[in-house]
Amino acid sequence: MSWDDEFETDPSERLEREQRKEPQGPSLKARAIDLLSRREHSRLELQRKLSRYSQDADEITALLDLLEREKWLSNTRFAQSLVNRRASKHGTLRIVQELKQSGVAQEDISLLTEELRETEFERAVEVWFRKFGCLPEDQKAYTKQARFLVSRGFALSTLHRILDAVKAGDIDLEDY
């Protein structure tokens, strides 16, 4: 091999050589299964992640259909998993928004919303108590508590209910 052979004079030769090479790394299905083995993903979420590795949308759609048929991928299971992970720290509004962004069907969201609303107050009390644990002393403290709970996806009316219940003695702070 001479010195001239080490350097290409025509860049198109290198491009042709690279195009002939087999794709590097795991297959698209292997990548999908690897992602699904770590945690549940929605169909939309998985589609977005796999699109980095394939430009062919039909190939990705076919793979996602196959994964659903083989029960590797389930939007319903994903939605339930997300609710289980988030419910202890976040309110219904935030969880529902995350489900919508993940492409979960409206019917599934409606069912889960009903379940979340049933436990909203208890979850909000736990989150509020972990962070604050006492009634606000002034308007600034009240605003801080309200902003915190709203940012977590709880309704402002929930904070009012918590504070009213604590004042009335319906919630004993010793229990938390």
Say which CATH number the domain at 54 has: 1.10.10.10
List, in order, residues 6 or more apart from 43 with CB less than 8 Å away.
64, 68, 73, 75, 103
Instruction: Tell whether 85 is covered by a domain.
Output: no
Instruction: Tell whether 88 is covered by a domain.
Output: no
Instruction: Tell whether 61 is covered by a domain.
Output: yes
Q: How many domains does the chain have?
A: 1
Instruction: Tell whether 87 is covered by a domain.
Output: no
Instruction: Tell whether 39 is covered by a domain.
Output: yes
Q: What is the pLDDT along the chain (176 residues), one digit of tens a residue?
A: 555 555 556 666 666 655 555 557 889 999 999 999 999 999 999 999 999 999 899 999 999 999 999 999 999 999 999 999 999 999 999 999 999 999 999 999 999 999 999 999 999 999 999 999 889 999 999 999 999 999 999 999 999 999 999 888 777 766 66
Q: Are 95 and 82 in contact (CB under 8 A)?
A: yes
**Residue with tokens 């605003």, as numbered in its chain:** 143
pLDDT the model gives residue 94: 97
Domain that holds residue 21: 9-73
pTM score of the predicted model: 0.78
Instruction: Tell whether 48 is covered by a domain.
Output: yes
Instruction: Tell whether 113 is covered by a domain.
Output: no
pLDDT the model gives residue 160: 92
Instruction: Tell whether 121 is covered by a domain.
Output: no
**Cβ-based neighbour number of residue 154 at 10 Å:** 24
